[in-house]
Each structure stands twice: as structure tokens, then as C-alpha cells.
């Protein structure tokens, strides 16, 4: 009997692959790029052209900050181009050369061991966490917008995404024909105000000092000449106030109240370097300190763009950083080390229906015998783009039970106002009778909703 049991156990152990019992070890990557702005994409192009396979981890905001710019006028060879279009052109070039992209957000790194260890979670499912090993790494994590830190801006009782934003091209369409304020006097503030001046009734540009701090002098001069633009110098914001649902006015140091409908904060940014503490040398403000060109304090780890640059913060300088970093990586790996690991991007499911006429939405509500999921989005919204694969997957899986519709707020801002959409992405769920049963705003909230679609199939 013992001999039989022994033989049976050996059969089980030998008859099944090891992966049935444990996770299969991932092959080490040659290069992992953390980030997906123009600097990261430039690195990917250079590395692939050099025959070095590269994995790009796009994170929550693919394309970086420039993807949110509606008008880039200082990129060589392009008189004027939308930031998202520019990013897509470089990304396509990187893909055509063999670079691989994954929708993962890095949550921790370990640069103290070799190969380097990079832990990331799926942007669609935070429960899916994976650790990837790499022989070299390029950090292109960019920066996050600074906040004013005044009452009513964010946190409990604040109006963040309900009237206070940091991206005009993402959320500006919600304020077509209305009055808005842009806070700041640098390049980003000028760009935000310029864009908003074309679609809103009135734009107040509010500066704490008595002058602008922009290198875009020509655009600034054109901006302040516009009839619907008013600049308030030496003005401090004491509070962002509203009615509990949306912003209604600002309390200023020079005036009691300034009636407005929306606020766009453009006062600079902080480097995205939180996960790098105790891993790399950082300066007092959190910027990565470089040892030579793009080399960090750890050999084999390079950094580019806004996460190392507190001064210039230009897309073209980030691209230059990316090229230099790629050349340094090539030299670093010149010993003959190579890695082969091709990770496919998540395949898209069925296509979502796109609203083409206002009447189309009204005729769909309460009709068809099934719930209606309506996503309000902006073409330049990073989180909106990240949600597309999940929404399309859901549309394919529940095609017989749920109808899905996308509404571009840049084309149908009136619908956004009708349904009190104050930020994108926003998902509104109508039951079979046409009643709103759920409203989800923001990437995380919508993602949670999509995980529980069965709750709505009977409504």
C-alpha cells in the first residue's frame, strides 16, 4: 500500500507542470521604462532601434502632461499640434520598432539588489500585483500638479473634480459659455487660460504676484488682449466656495466675492518620486539627483524629464533626456546582457457606442428593456482612456443585458450640464425605466462599479 501511494504521488508531481503548483518565474527584462510621456517614448524608440527590447509601464496617465495640452506650438517640425496627437505619433513609432506597453502602475521598487525589482499593479484591477525584474531602468514618472491648499479646494467638503480642476482640456468643455478662473502665472496657466478663453464666456487669470512667469511671452501677450480675459494681479485666494454641489464663487484678498462657475489650478507641480525615497538620492524638494547626464545614484538606473528637472519642464528637454538615457543604457548593457520578454497589451473587447446626436441619448433612456450605462468623457482625459478597455470588455460580456454609450463632453457639453456632470470620467447608470440608479465619478469609483455589473442587470 505504501509503495502504491508513493508511486501515485510521484505520478502527480511529475505529471503536472511546476506552474500548476507555483507561480512561474518571470523572465528578466532588459529595460523597464516607468512612465509614458515624450521622454519615456523617446527612450523606447532609441532603445528598440539599438536592438534592446523595452517594456514601458504606462501608469494611470498615459502620455504624460503634454497629452493634456490642446495646442503645442514649440515642438520642432510642428507649427501646431495637439499634445495627444504628438504623443500618439511617438508611441506608434516606438511600437513599430518593437517596444511593448502595459497598463500597470508602479507601487514600489527595489534598486538595492540585482536584477532590479519593480512591483506594479494593474490599473484596471488593483488586486492584480506583479513583480518584474529588470537589468536596467529608466524613470520617467513626471510630476503631479500642486494645489493651493485653501478651504474648499479638496478633501472633505472640497470641490475637487466638482468645480476645481488642474486640466482645462480635460474638463473645460463642461464650462462652455460660463465664467471660470485660472490660478497661476506660469506656462501652464497661460496655456490653460488661452484654451478656456476660446470656449468660455469669461476667464479670470489670478496671480499672487505683479507679473507672469512664463517663457511663452507671445502667447501671454495675445491672451491678455482678449476681450473675455481679465488678469487680477497681486491677488490671493482665501477660499473656494460653493453651494455644496458645485463652485459658485471665490473669496479673494482684494474682493469679497468673485462669482465663477469653475476653477483651474495651474501653479506648478511636484515630482512623482514618493516610491523612490530610500532607493535613490533625492534633493530637498523630491527631485532625483543625477550623477552624470541621466545616471542616478544607482548604476543602471536612469531618470529623465520633470522628475529630475525643477527648472525647464519642457517636453522637448524631456525628449532630449530620453535620448541620452537610452544611449547610456546601451553602454551599460554593452557587456552582452539581453532579455527577451514580450508582454502584450490588454486586447480590446467589443466597441462602445458613441453618441452622435443629443436625441439619441434621450431616445435610449428607458427603452430597449435593459439598463443604460452612459460614460461622459473627454478625448484628452488620461483616466478616461485607461477605462476604455474595461468598458469595452464589459460591453462585450454584457451585450445582451446592458447597453453602453459614450458621450464626449467636448461635443455635448449641454448634456453634461443637464446631468450635472462636473468632472470626467463620470458614469451614469439608468435602469430599465429610465431612472438614474448610480453615479460614479473618477477612475477608481467607475472601476468598482464595473466589477459589480450583475447588480444592475435586473434593474
Residues acting as catalytic residues: 167, 170-171
Which letter, b or e, does each residue of 391-430 get, where b requires 16 or more Cβ atoms within 10 Å of its Cβ? bbbbbeebeeebbbbbbbbbebbebbbeeebbbbbbbbbb
Residue entry with cell 458645485: 246
Residue 458, phi-psi category: left (phi > 0), alpha (psi -120 to 50), beta (remainder): alpha
Distance CA 119, CA 102 (A): 13
Peptide bond into 115 cis (omega under 30): yes
223 half-sphere exposure, CB direction, 13 A CA radius: 27
Beta-carbon contacts of residue 4 (< 8 Å; ≥ 6 apart): none
Q: Is 12 exposed, middle or buried (0-12, 13-18, 19+ CB in 10 A)?
A: exposed
Distance CA 181, CA 124 (A): 33
Q: How far is CA 305 from the centre of its chain?
A: 16
Peptide bond into 425 cis (omega under 30): yes
Amino acid at each position: 500500500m505504501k509503495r502504491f501511494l508513493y508511486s501515485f504521488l510521484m505520478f502527480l508531481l511529475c505529471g503536472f507542470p511546476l506552474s500548476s503548483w507555483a507561480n512561474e518565474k518571470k523572465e528578466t527584462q532588459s529595460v523597464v521604462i516607468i512612465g509614458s510621456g515624450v521622454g519615456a517614448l523617446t527612450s523606447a524608440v532609441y532603445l528598440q532601434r539599438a536592438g534592446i527590447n523595452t517594456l514601458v509601464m504606462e501608469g494611470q496617465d498615459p502620455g504624460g502632461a503634454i497629452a493634456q495640452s490642446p495646442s503645442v506650438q514649440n515642438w520642432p517640425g510642428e507649427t501646431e499640434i495637439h499634445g495627444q496627437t504628438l504623443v500618439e505619433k511617438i508611441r506608434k513609432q516606438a511600437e513599430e520598432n518593437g517596444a511593448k506597453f502595459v497598463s500597470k502602475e508602479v507601487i514600489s521598487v527595489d534598486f538595492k539588489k540585482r536584477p532590479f525589482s519593480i512591483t506594479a499593479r494593474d490599473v484596471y484591477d488593483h488586486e492584480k500585483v506583479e513583480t518584474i525584474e529588470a537589468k536596467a531602468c529608466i524613470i520617467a514618472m513626471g510630476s503631479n500638479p500642486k494645489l493651493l491648499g485653501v478651504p474648499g479646494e479638496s478633501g472633505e467638503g472640497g470641490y475637487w473634480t466638482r468645480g476645481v480642476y488642474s486640466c482645462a482640456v480635460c474638463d473645460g468643455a463642461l464650462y462652455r459659455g460660463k465664467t471660470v478662473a485660472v490660478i497661476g502665472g506660469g506656462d501652464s496657466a497661460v496655456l490653460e487660460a488661452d484654451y478656456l478663453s476660446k470656449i468660455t464666456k469669461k476667464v479670470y487669470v489670478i496671480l499672487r504676484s505683479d507679473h507672469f512667469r512664463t517663457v511663452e511671452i507671445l502667447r501671454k501677450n495675445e491672451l491678455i488682449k482678449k476681450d473675455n480675459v481679465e488678469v487680477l494681479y497681486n491677488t490671493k485666494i482665501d477660499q473656494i466656495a460653493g453651494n455644496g454641489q458645485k463652485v459658485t464663487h471665490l473669496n479673494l484678498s482684494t474682493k469679497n466675492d468673485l462669482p465663477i462657475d469653475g476653477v483651474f489650478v495651474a501653479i506648478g507641480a511636484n515630482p512623482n518620486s514618493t516610491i523612490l525615497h530610500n532607493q535613490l538620492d533625492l534633493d530637498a524638494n523630491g527631485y532625483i539627483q543625477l550623477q552624470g547626464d541621466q545616471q542616478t545614484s544607482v548604476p543602471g538606473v536612469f531618470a529623465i524629464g520633470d522628475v529630475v528637472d525643477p527648472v525647464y519642464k519642457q517636453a522637448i528637454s524631456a525628449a532630449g533626456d530620453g535620448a541620452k538615457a537610452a544611449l547610456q543604457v546601451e553602454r551599460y548593457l554593452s557587456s552582452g546582457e539581453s532579455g527577451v520578454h514580450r508582454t502584450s497589451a490588454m486586447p480590446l473587447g467589443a466597441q462602445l457606442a458613441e453618441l452622435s446626436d443629443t436625441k439619441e441619448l434621450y431616445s435610449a433612456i428607458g427603452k430597449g428593456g435593459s439598463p443604460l450605462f452612459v460614460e461622459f468623457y473627454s478625448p484628452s482625459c488620461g483616466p478616461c482612456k485607461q477605462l476604455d478597455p474595461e468598458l469595452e470588455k464589459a460591453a462585450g460580456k454584457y451585450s445582451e443585458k446592458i447597453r453602453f454609450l459614450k458621450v464626449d463632453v467636448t461635443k455635448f457639453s449641454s448634456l453634461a450640464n443637464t446631468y450635472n456632470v462636473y468632472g470626467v470620467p463620470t458614469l451614469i447608470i439608468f435602469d430599465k425605466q429610465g431612472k438614474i440608479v448610480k453615479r460614479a465619478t473618477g477612475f477608481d469609483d467607475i472601476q468598482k462599479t464595473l466589477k459589480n455589473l450583475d447588480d444592475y442587470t435586473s434593474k
